[in-house]
Amino acid sequence: MKSGMTRRTFLGGMAGVAGAAAWPAENASDALAHSTRPNIVLILADDLGYGDLGCYGQEQIQTPHLDRLAAEGTKFTQCYAGAPVCAPSRCGLITGMHNGHGRVRDNLPHDIWLQPDDRTVAEVLKQAGYRTGAIGKWSLGNPGSWGVANFQGFDYFFGHLDQDQAHFYYPDYLWENDKIVHLRGNRGGQRGEYTCDLFTEKALAFVRENQQKPFFLYLAYTWPHWSDYDKKTPESLPVPTDDPYSQRDWPQIEKNYAAMVTRMDRDVGRLADLLKELGIEENTLFLFTSDNGPSAEAVHSPDFFESNGPLRGTKRELYEGGIRVPMIARWPGRVPANRECDQVWAFWDILPTLAELAGLPPVAGIDGISMAPALLGREQTRQHEYLYWDYAHVRGTFSQAVRAGNWKGIRNGPGAPLELYDLAQDLGETRDLSNQFPDVVERIERFVEAAYVASPDYPIAPPAVAETPGGT
């Protein structure tokens, strides 16, 4: 059972949750000076495509602040999400486990959450004395479960626990630790309190309140995910204003999408400016990425802005467009500036990387490896033999993918043949080479078999009983 928790606390419901998982600062090693432990700001966009930022080739949507952060730091071109959909991708990021071993492996069913024996990046960083905060979309535990953020190492939480509630930008309420916060400005269908604006204000406040100690802020925006208001109208992407695109000769839905991305960019800039104002910019690692590729499920078309860039596929697919994501890292004086890096890594590497940067010993028993050398511009001697993903266990369309070196193998459904692509020569995955390289296919098949460990929570449904696709 997690430190600070008791069965009595859990059975009492959410009361007292905020302090339930808090590890006292005395548990951290006093030998680690604050100067050796960077503050960490990790920002996660929702359904933002690899090609949606100017620094990754976007020509129509304005993202000046993120472009500046990329110029002041390192832009990674081969970083991968934990999965092609929300919940399992976040699980990989938080726990350091890939989809073949993770607790949460799919968006369905909706009652599988993190458990007391799951170790999270927040719990690890608390061992080094970090104050931890999660703001925005959580997805890994609903009220009354062990999976809520405050039971998983976060001292502070504000936002959506339920990922389906996170579809709404003007909801009736949000959670703040163990309390419901009613959004009175949204009563009766009014639109007075926009969730992502609230997330930004809480993030700014968290940084101000913790500027004198090492902190870890996980800011998971819901931008630019579609909303359930009406997936067939511009209301599927609600935003307070479509500035600065109001006069563009675009469909209204595309104005809204671009405005969402630019509004997020603006708020990322506000957070970066605050770090400078407080004099902690040079001791703060700033990371920005997205949970999976762009969505093609609502009226907005990812093709309009070429949101997946040169990649094939979108969200829910294991082609590169569904899982390769932008990753920007800035830490003045430590992470090289104006640099593009092709190091191959994935969300499950974030936990061990941050642990090393915090001065902690290597974390055992996870799938991730520390990418601190690559992040800091040094030689990355330790590499993955392969990366693994799977998706759609309960829908009857179970797919699996492995990347090993420049080879990428994909099986789209149980019993389907393995497709094989050489990403070094065919980034768009247009030429299936499986017939030409049977030895490579056989090798990747072995990796697939080794990586996947069956979970009773995610039985693979036969196609005849596949569910209708849904979820976030």
In this structure, is residue 156 part of a structural domain? Answer: yes
Listed residue (62, 86, 103) closest to 325, CA to CA: 86
Cβ proximity of 471 and 88 under 8 Å: no
pLDDT confidence of residue 472: 59
Residue 274 and residue 319 in one domain: yes
In this structure, is residue 344 part of a structural domain? Answer: yes
In this structure, is residue 16 part of a structural domain? Answer: no
Residue 214 and residue 318 in one domain: yes
| More confidently predicted of 3 and 260 | 260
Structure tokens at 204: 């700014």
Q: CATH no. for residue 275?
A: 3.40.720.10
Cβ proximity of 394 and 407 under 8 Å: no
% residues pLDDT > 90 (the chain): 85
Domain of 428, in residue numbers? 388-465
Tens digits of per-residue pLDDT, 283-320? 999 999 999 999 998 899 999 999 999 999 999 999 99
In this structure, is residue 23 part of a structural domain? Answer: no
Tens digits of per-residue pLDDT, 196-227? 999 999 999 999 999 999 999 999 999 999 99
Residue 151 and residue 291 in one domain: yes
Residue 339 and residue 422 in one domain: no
CA distance 1 to 307: 43
| Residue 238, preceding peptide bond in cis (omega within 30° of 0) | no
| More confidently predicted of 149 and 11 | 149
In this structure, is residue 6 part of a structural domain? Answer: no
Q: Is the pLDDT of residue 27 over 70?
A: no
Number of structural domains the chain divides into: 2
Residue 58 and residue 184 in one domain: yes
Alpha-carbon dihedral sign for residues 457, 350, 373, 400: positive
Residue 160 and residue 214 in one domain: yes
Listed residue (450, 356, 363, 344) closest to 403, CA to CA: 344
Q: Is the pLDDT of residue 47 over 50?
A: yes
Residue 341 and residue 419 in one domain: no
Q: Is the pLDDT of residue 395 over 90?
A: no
Q: Give the pLDDT band (50/70/90) at residue 2.
A: very low
CA distance 343 to 182: 44
Tens digits of per-residue pLDDT, 260-271? 999 999 999 999
Listed residue (40, 42, 289, 9) closest to 148, CA to CA: 9
Q: What sections of 210-294 are H helices per DSSP?
A: 252-277
pLDDT confidence of residue 380: 98
Residue 256 and residue 395 in one domain: no
% residues pLDDT > 70 (the chain): 90
Cβ proximity of 217 and 271 under 8 Å: no
Single-letter amino acid code for the residue at 85 = V
339 exposed, middle or buried (CB, 10 Å; 0-12, 13-18, 19+)? Answer: middle
Residue 310 and residue 458 in one domain: no
Q: In the 8-state DSSP scheme, what is residue 466?
A: P
Regarding beta strands 339-341 and 131-137, do their DSSP bridges make them parallel or antiparallel, or are they unpaired?
unpaired
Cα separations in angstroms, 183 against 125, 191, 260: 32, 10, 21
Contacts of 238 (CB under 8 A, 6+ apart): 169, 170, 191, 227, 229, 256
- Single out the residue in 382, 398, 418 at which a domain terminates: 382
Q: What sections of 278-344 are H helices per DSSP?
A: 320-323
Average pLDDT over residues 440-451: 98
In this structure, is residue 22 part of a structural domain? Answer: no
- For residue 357, what is the enclosing H or E element? helix 350-357
- Single out the residue in 338, 362, 382 at which a domain terminates: 382
pLDDT confidence of residue 462: 72
Q: CATH no. for residue 394?
A: 3.30.1120.10
Buried b (16+ CB within 10 A) or exposed e, 421-434: bbbeeebbbeeeeb
- Single out the residue in 341, 362, 382 at which a domain terminates: 382
Mean pLDDT of the chain: 91
Q: Which residues pair with 219 in a beta bridge?
A: 43, 135
Listed residue (296, 13, 298, 299) closest to 308, CA to CA: 296
Residue 325 and residue 442 in one domain: no
Element counts in the chain: helices (H) and strands (E)? 11, 15
Residue 357 and residue 298 in one domain: yes
Listed residue (388, 410, 368, 346) closest to 97, CA to CA: 368
Q: Which residues pair with 40 in a beta bridge?
A: 216, 285
pLDDT confidence of residue 18: 30
Tens digits of per-residue pLDDT, 319-365? 999 999 999 999 999 999 999 999 999 999 999 999 999 999 999 99
Strands of the sheet with 387-391, listed across from one edge = 387-391, 399-404, 407-412, 418-422
Single-letter amino acid code for the residue at 346 = A
Least confident of 51-65, 88-102, 382-396: 382-396
Listed residue (44, 9, 72) closest to 199, CA to CA: 44
For residue 417, how many other CB atoms are within 10 A of its CB? 13
Residue 147 and residue 97 in one domain: yes
Which residue do the tokens 């000769």 mark? 249
Q: Is the pLDDT of residue 85 over 60?
A: yes
For residue 200, how many other CB atoms are within 10 A of its CB? 22
Tens digits of per-residue pLDDT, 328-338? 999 999 999 99
pLDDT confidence of residue 228: 80
Angle at CA of residue 90, ends 86 and 91, nearest 5°: 120
Structure tokens at 139: 């997805």
In this structure, is residue 425 part of a structural domain? Answer: yes
Q: Is the pLDDT of residue 30 over 60?
A: no
In this structure, is residue 252 part of a structural domain? Answer: yes
Average pLDDT over residues 35-51: 94
**pTM given for the model:** 0.92
Cα separations in angstroms, 267 against 43, 64, 191, 270: 11, 11, 20, 5
Cα separations in angstroms, 441 against 73, 318, 419, 430: 37, 17, 8, 17
Q: Is the pLDDT of residue 249 over 60?
A: yes
